[in-house]
Amino acid sequence: MTLLSDPRGTMPMRSGIGEADYGTPKSTSDVMVSVTIDGETHVVPEGTSVMRAAGEAGCDIPKLCATDSLQPFGSCRMCIVEIDGRRGTPASCTTPVEDGMVVRTQTAKVAKLRKNVMELYISDHPLDCLTCSANGDCELQDMAGVAGLREVRYGMDGKNHLDAPTDASNPYFSFDESKCIVCNRCVRACDEVQGTLALTIEGRGFNSKVSPGGLNFLSSECVSCGACVQACPTATLQEKSVIDLGMPTRTVQTTCAYCGVGCSFNAELRGDELVRMVPTKTGGANEGHSCVKGRFAWGYASHSDRITKPMLREKITDEWREVTWDEAIQYTATKLKEIQAKYGDNSIGGITSSRCTNEEIFVVQKMIRAAFGNNNVDTCARVCHSPTGYGLSTTFGTSAGTQDFKSVAKTDVIVVIGANPTDAHPVFASRMKRRIREGANLIVIDPRKIDLVESAHIKADHHLQLQPGTNVAVINAIAHVIATEGLIDEEFVAERCDPGPFNRWRKFIELPENSPEVVEAQSGVPAETIRQAARLYAAGNNAAIYYGLGVTEHSQGSTMVMGMANLAMATGNIGRDGVGVNPLRGQNNVQGACDMGSFPHELSGYRHVSDNAVREQFEMLWDVKLMSDPGMRIPNMFDNAISGEFRGLFVHGEDIAQSDPNTKHVEHALTSMDLVVVQDLFLNETSKFAHVFLPGTSFLEKDGTFTNAERRINRVRPVMAAKNGKQEWQIICELSQAMGYEMHYDNAAQIMDEIAEITPTFKGVSFAMLDEVGSVQWPCNDAAPSGTPIMHVDGFVRGQGQFMETPFVPTEERSNRKFPLLLTTGRILSQYNVGAQTRRTENVTWHPEDVLEIHEADAAMRGIVDGQKIAVSSRIGETILTAVVSERVPAGVVHTTFHHPMSGANVITTEFSDWATNCPEFKVTAVEIRPADSSDAPTNTLESVLTKA
Amino acid sequence: MDISILTRMAGDIERNLPVHEETYLRISEHLVKFWTPKMRSDFYKHVTSNREDFSETLNKVVDELRAKANA
């Protein structure tokens, strides 16, 4: 593929290799108008700019300040045209086409003007094109050529910006002010695309310059999403990797492996070396946007910590020794079989990874069911979104969010519950913020004052700042108001929902115990605020709920999911654009891991193992007898390990010793087993307890698919050769074969073919299909060959929607005299999950350690000041963190993250879990805090772990 | 698995479901759907040996489990 050229070959482009840039956004109007451009007549949607109409007709108009991800600005004067009947030379970017309009893009008059404009630009621009980092990827350079500029009459000796400084403070990109043409694209990208509004134009006239507002980019509000870098038409904002390595020469389109948004990227390479990741405009999830993780934090894949050879050790106190793949596989298989021979078939099991591809996950669960001969397979969704599966399948009939991400653009009332999208799902947050800036109302239900509550041009209409653990009480109170104030959509309910459960729910929800006035005492949220929020949600035309782990990771997580589903059904906010109930999935492939049959009670497509007809299909296809009873969940595995019944565990790409609650308990379980096998990129916390380490592949080496939070199946393509020499599914197949169950595929596409063959919702999916259409949202089958962006349109998957009574049962984890504060845990923008990836990138610049946010009153009461080391203790354990005195948390609540193993946030979280799914209650732990002294040391060092082990 | 864990899990399920005449059926269905046979068996044995320590609902749950197993 030719670098940086429009596929039509007419004009160089900047925004990603091979992606055309039509200068202004596409019009969505259904009304068509006719325009004649340079003698040819074209029909375009009303509202299309002259620039875009010309570009789509293959007649590109020069431009500098225009790019089709931004609204037209009309400042550079390069895109001027002549229009019959109009005076002067209007800018084509800001001039919409009118029916019958006659446009001339190439006349002597506009050519002269364009050349003059370009001459002025170049008179204040360094003439170092040959050594410039953007050489070959510079729109200014290209436009100078298009304008036919041959000389600069003004010379270079006048007043200029050629000696302006370069800001290299950001670890990933630099800002070379001397090359800036003040086209405003970066400022507008930050405003319109990202929605952070960190950049501005400072000064006036000749002194105008782009400014990040603070001392430099690093100290500014900039979130390093890369939108400004992508928008910049020169080398002013440039990736440091491009400056260091040079321009890429080829591209591979793939999918980000961080959060559940699942952004599409072009991996741009020189030979086999990755130079940069550029978000693709055709990506269904992100449409050209990115965040600091996906755009820049991919260096971990080549980090020197990567383990690329298999390793063994007899005891966890032994040194690791490198072995051949054959020895590692044979050893593992032999040990697993020995354990089963001694302790029974159910004495081993495995955990699948939401960071891996659907194909890898499918073969891991297949290995466990077919080769291990049991259903002891679980996935890390157990500790995040398992209540989503339970709650949404019970009420709606399927375990998935109801909308596509685009749907939020049609939402009038956005409700964010227990989620922090600007940190955890930043690219979706940008969509959401755009809609809020357009006028949508916003309700935030969260103990913390997250950025969405109030930030640049964003202000929540209502912030229900509830006490941790009272979600269900508040959602019931909202429903109570809707039911008792006549706000139920009776027509929708009568038409779409099961009347028996609805009537029972209505009776329950109208009870006085669910009134806002009663709930105020439990939750701390003023009754009137609850009432206003309920009325806003019910009365809005389109109201949508978006939620995260602040909903699920509670002892009533499943109840809360059902409570939200009740609310959507009661108000008819389901089954169309702009509404719905939408889980924001934490890891990149949580949805896929659940879809692929990773839970111990379900085969792929959420079908219970006890369903004889379904099981028989699998048995016939796999030629093996399958168990009809559910296997162990992860906590069951741990508990059974401690009691001696569960002796061998295969951990695929997860770090349970860091991510799961009550670290001491997890470590006890791991040290109780005879064999722990870890397949991962790095020696993580869990590998400290492992006997076998099987090196895995990064997303840049994988071939397969991820499924994001909107059920979108995206291709993951290998950008570079696997550093361990094997795809992970191949390793699993070899282990399965060594255990006596033949499992063979020639490639990952064959695995997807098998998934499609046996999973009704995936029936139409194949690699060939995805390569052709880009991505598809399941269900994708005969009934929906192009996929299903929005679910439950004409009816619920289960037939009729089922209301469920949702009694509020407070957690037993309460603050008390000994532990008077409530700790809640979460994530931060720059880090991801246990940090195994992001800690091995420059993202540590922003978050080098986990900290504890504490309200100033709680800090002052304990003599704690900002930046002080503190000991945080719960009834489970104690850890050391740095205090950050913050207004984001209310008095009585503290917050931390779990991205760093040294701080070990889960040393203090408890054994309590969701009643239905055993999803841990990460969000509520009673703690006390004191200033740390010299005898307090980090609790999770290798030495301390091994001593305890 | 320590029986106290199973007892706590069953108690959590009972406590979080609305109280109705057929609640015991929902609980027993839940245990069949999500618990391993050994967990159910251990819980059954423990409850039937210590019936007075458990609620009427959980007693009915284990009776239902037995009925299902015999069906």
Would you state the pLDDT for residue A18? 61
Query: Considering only CA atoms, which of A137, A461, A307 is closest in space to residue A836?
Result: A307
Closest residue of A to B6, CA-based? A636
- Final residue before a domain boundary, out of A132, A155, A178: A155
Contact A630 B34 (CB under 8 A): yes
Claim to verify: residue A902 and residue A932 sit in the same structural domain? yes
User: How far is it, in rounded angstroms, from Cα A690 to Cα A9?
Assistant: 55
Element (H, E) at A615: helix A612-622
CB-closest option in B1, B18, B35 to A645: B1
Is the pLDDT at A157 greater than 90? The verdict is no
Both tokens of A479, joined, read 């429903």
Give me the percent of chain A exceeding a pLDDT of 70: 97
Q: Are A468 and A555 in contact (CB under 8 A)?
A: no
Would you state the pLDDT for residue A19? 79
- Final residue before a domain boundary, out of A131, A155, A179: A155
Claim to verify: residue A413 and residue A556 sit in the same structural domain? yes
A66-80 tens-digit pLDDT: 999 999 999 999 999
| CA-derived radius of gyration, chain B | 11
| All residues at 6 or more sequence positions from B60 whose CB lies less than 8 Å from its CB, including other chains | B24
In the block, which residue shows the tokens 């899990």?
Answer: B9
**Interface residue B34 vs chain A (CB under 8 A):** yes
Q: How far is A558 from chain B (nearest CA, A)?
A: 10
Amino acid at A554: H
Q: Compute the average pLDDT of residues A614-619.
A: 97
Contact B36 A636 (CB under 8 A): yes
| Domain CATH for A434 | 3.40.228.10
Paired with A243 in beta bridges are none
- Answer yes or no: is A37 within a domain: yes
Q: Compute the average pLDDT of residues B9-34.
A: 96
- List C-alpha distances in Å: A414 to A257, A578, A582: 27, 9, 11
Q: How far is A921 from chain B (nearest CA, A)?
A: 13
Would you state the pLDDT for residue A937? 62
Asked which of A12-16, A493-497, A752-756 is least confident by mean pLDDT, the reply is A12-16
What are the strands, taking DSSP E only, across A666-729?
A: 675-680, 692-695, 704-707, 712-716
Would you state the pLDDT for residue A11? 38
Claim to verify: residue A486 and residue A548 sit in the same structural domain? yes
With 0-12 CB in 10 A as exposed, 13-18 as middle and 19+ as buried, what is A131?
A: exposed
Contact B34 A601 (CB under 8 A): yes
- Answer yes or no: is A476 within a domain: yes
Claim to verify: residue A350 and residue A438 sit in the same structural domain? no
Is the pLDDT at A33 greater than 50? The verdict is yes
| Chain A from 593 to 632: CB within 8 A of any B CB | 600-601, 608, 610, 629-632
Give me the percent of chain A exceeding a pLDDT of 90: 90
B18-29 tens-digit pLDDT: 999 999 999 999
Q: Are A236 and A125 in contact (CB under 8 A)?
A: no
Contact A346 B36 (CB under 8 A): yes
Claim to verify: residue A620 and residue A521 sit in the same structural domain? no
User: How far is it, in rounded angstroms, from Cα A191 to Cα A196?
Assistant: 6
Query: Considering only CA atoms, which of A608, A601, A634 is closest in space to residue A382?
Result: A634
Query: Considering only CA atoms, which of A58, A62, A68 is closest in space to residue A15?
Result: A68
How many domains, in total, are found in chain B?
1
A865-876 tens-digit pLDDT: 999 999 999 999
A372-421 tens-digit pLDDT: 999 999 999 999 899 999 999 999 999 899 999 999 999 999 999 999 99
Q: Compute the average pLDDT of residues A273-287.
A: 96
Q: What share of chain A is helix, strand, coil (3-state, %, to 5)?
A: 35, 20, 50
Q: In which band, very low, low, confident or very high, does the pLDDT at A943 lie, cut at 50, 70 and 90?
A: very low
- Domain of B36? 3-70
Q: Compute the average pLDDT of residues A267-295.
A: 96
Q: SS3 sequence, B29-71?
A: HHHHHHCCHHHHHHHHHHHHHCHHHCCHHHHHHHHHHHHHHHC
CB-closest option in A639, A807, A916 to B1: A639
Closest residue of B to A643, CA-based? B1
- Answer yes or no: is A230 within a domain: no
- Answer yes or no: is A277 within a domain: no
Contacts of A507 in chain B (CB under 8 A): none
Q: In which band, very low, low, confident or very high, does the pLDDT at A934 lie, cut at 50, 70 and 90?
A: confident
User: CA-based diameter of chain B, in Å?
Assistant: 30
**Interface residue A918 vs chain B (CB under 8 A):** yes
Q: How far is A236 from chain B (nearest CA, A)?
A: 58
The torsion angles phi and psi of A799, rounded to 5 degrees, stand at: 105, -90
Q: Compute the average pLDDT of residues B55-68.
A: 94
A428-455 tens-digit pLDDT: 999 999 999 999 999 999 999 999 999 9
In what side-by-side order are the strands of the sheet with A82-83? A40-45, A32-37, A101-104, A82-83
Claim to verify: residue A630 and residue A669 sit in the same structural domain? yes
Is the pLDDT at A306 greater than 90? The verdict is yes
Q: Are B34 and A390 in contact (CB under 8 A)?
A: no
**Can you give the length of chain A in residues?**
949
SS3 (DSSP) at A878: strand
Contacts of B15 in chain A (CB under 8 A): 809, 915
pTM of the entire predicted model: 0.94
User: How far is it, in rounded angstroms, from Cα B41 to Cα A359?
Assistant: 35
| Domain CATH for A351 | 3.40.50.740
Q: Compute the average pLDDT of residues A708-720.
A: 97
**Can you give the length of chain B in residues?**
71
SS3 (DSSP) at A348: strand
Claim to verify: residue A136 and residue A79 sit in the same structural domain? yes
- Final residue before a domain boundary, out of A534, A554, A583: A583
- Answer yes or no: is A732 within a domain: yes
Q: In which band, very low, low, confident or very high, does the pLDDT at A586 lie, cut at 50, 70 and 90?
A: confident
Asked which of A626-630, A695-699, A913-917, A941-945 is least confident by mean pLDDT, the reply is A941-945
Both tokens of A602, joined, read 């379900």
ipTM of the complex: 0.97
Q: Are A60 and A52 in contact (CB under 8 A)?
A: no
- Answer yes or no: is A601 within a domain: yes
User: How far is it, in rounded angstroms, from Cα A855 to Cα A859?
Assistant: 6
Q: How far is A916 from chain B (nearest CA, A)?
A: 6
Claim to verify: residue A669 and residue A718 sit in the same structural domain? yes
Claim to verify: residue A558 and residue A600 sit in the same structural domain? no
- Across the A:B interface, residue pairs with CB atoms under 8 Å apart total 52
Contact B36 A508 (CB under 8 A): no
Claim to verify: residue A610 and residue A545 sit in the same structural domain? no
Contact B16 A556 (CB under 8 A): yes
- Answer yes or no: is A498 within a domain: yes
Q: In which band, very low, low, confident or very high, does the pLDDT at A941 lie, cut at 50, 70 and 90?
A: very low
Give the mean pLDDT of chain A.
Answer: 94
A207-266 tens-digit pLDDT: 999 999 878 999 999 999 999 999 999 999 999 999 999 999 999 999 999 999 999 999
Q: How far is B67 from chain A (nearest CA, A)?
A: 17
- Answer yes or no: is A319 within a domain: no
Tally of CA atoms within 13 A in the half-sphere of A45 that contains its CB? 9
- Domain of A839? 821-948
Is the pLDDT at A948 greater than 50? The verdict is no
